[in-house]
């Protein structure tokens, strides 16, 4: 049996996620090895994420796939912001972990965060949502891997930092979490919490056996919302789909970078893909088109 080469970024979280993928594939009888690939997002640690543009954490892995240097690219689904490059496809999604954002600090609820608190985040979406809900907070841009960003609490005198809960869970740092934000307060990034396995077109059989249908259904609906809205690097957008009362609920969110204006709409139904146009059209009609235009999207 040939060995399946799994490409991954080199950060501790990325490698933990790749090991999860490897264990899942191994349980299905595959033989795997990990191949570390350096990405632009990993090497440009001091550059704000908004300036790196789309594909900062994914394009190098995709190039390695196209060059036949790896067989499968392991991605955080939220890093895959655009359409698939020619010749590649998203062949499997592992079962989703907690999609929520987490507060790492002393506060145990949103209301316990002190007035005027200093909060570290590198995310345009989190920044806008926090400013909209709590304009008294001071947002401090931070970059780096999970541990580096946690360390900023001490080095930058921060009251807390915001990170994806799933990442903290996956590398055993969940004890750092003060509380997890309700999805209604901070709509997660499209795909947050899900690990995507990308292959060359025609090679999907390498990972098809581990594809989790419910996760695929949710993430592809979320991607449908953010694909139609665009934004991301210049205008914060978000989407989240989850099972709700026997069906599905799809939430879409868009904001201005300063948090002065935010829009949120949701729809319920049996198929989240059928809800994408409803949610996006409501957002655009409610002022989203103007927000996107202001951002040059």
User: Catalytic residues, which ones?
Assistant: 79
CB hemisphere CA count around 125 (13 angstroms): 25
**What is the helix, strand, coil percentage profile of the chain, to 5?**
40, 25, 40
Tell me the three state secondary structure of residue 120: strand
Site of tokens 């600090």 = 105
Do the bridges between strand 118-120 and strand 138-140 make them parallel or antiparallel, or are there none, so unpaired? parallel
Label residues 126-143 b or e (16+ Cβ within 10 Å = b).
Answer: bbbbbbbebeebebbebb
Q: Going by C-beta distance under 8 Å and a sequence separation of 6 or more, which residues neighbour residue 30?
A: 1, 4, 206
Ranges assigned E (strand) in 9-114:
31-36, 72-76, 88-93, 101-105
Dihedral over alpha carbons 155, 150, 40, 232 (to 10 degrees): -110
Count of helices and strands (H, E) across the chain: 10, 13
* Count of other CB atoms within 10 angstroms of residue 260: 11
Site of tokens 């501790």 = 12
């Amino acid at each position: 049996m040939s060995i399946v080469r799994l490409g991954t970024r080199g950060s501790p979280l990325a490698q933990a996620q790749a090991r999860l993928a490897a264990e899942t594939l191994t349980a299905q009888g595959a033989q795997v090895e990990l191949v570390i690939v350096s990405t632009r997002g990993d090497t440009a640690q001091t550059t704000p994420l908004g300036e790196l543009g789309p594909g900062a954490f994914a394009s190098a892995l995709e190039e390695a796939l196209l060059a036949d240097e790896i067989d499968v690219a392991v991605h955080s689904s939220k890093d895959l912001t655009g359409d698939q490059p020619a010749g590649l496809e998203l062949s499997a999604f592992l079962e989703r972990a907690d999609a929520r954002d987490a507060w790492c600090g002393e506060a145990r609820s949103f209301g316990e965060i002190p007035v005027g608190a200093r909060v570290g985040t590198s995310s345009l979406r989190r920044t806008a949502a926090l400013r909209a809900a709590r304009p008294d907070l001071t947002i401090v841009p931070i970059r780096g891997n999970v541990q580096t960003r946690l360390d900023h609490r001490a080095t930058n005198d921060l009251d807390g930092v915001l990170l994806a809960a799933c990442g903290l869970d996956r590398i055993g740092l969940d004890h750092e979490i003060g509380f997890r934000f309700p999805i209604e307060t901070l709509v997660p990034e499209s795909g947050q919490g899900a690990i995507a396995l990308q292959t060359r077109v025609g090679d999907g059989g390498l990972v098809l056996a581990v594809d989790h249908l419910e996760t695929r259904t949710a993430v592809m609906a979320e991607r449908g919302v953010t694909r139609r809205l665009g934004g991301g690097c210049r205008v914060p957008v978000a989407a989240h789909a989850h099972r709700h009362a026997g069906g599905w609920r799809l939430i879409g969110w868009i904001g201005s970078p300063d948090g002065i204006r935010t829009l949120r709409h949701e729809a319920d139904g049996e198929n989240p893909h059928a809800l994408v146009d409803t949610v996006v059209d409501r957002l655009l009609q409610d002022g989203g088109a103007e927000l996107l235009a202001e951002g040059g999207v």
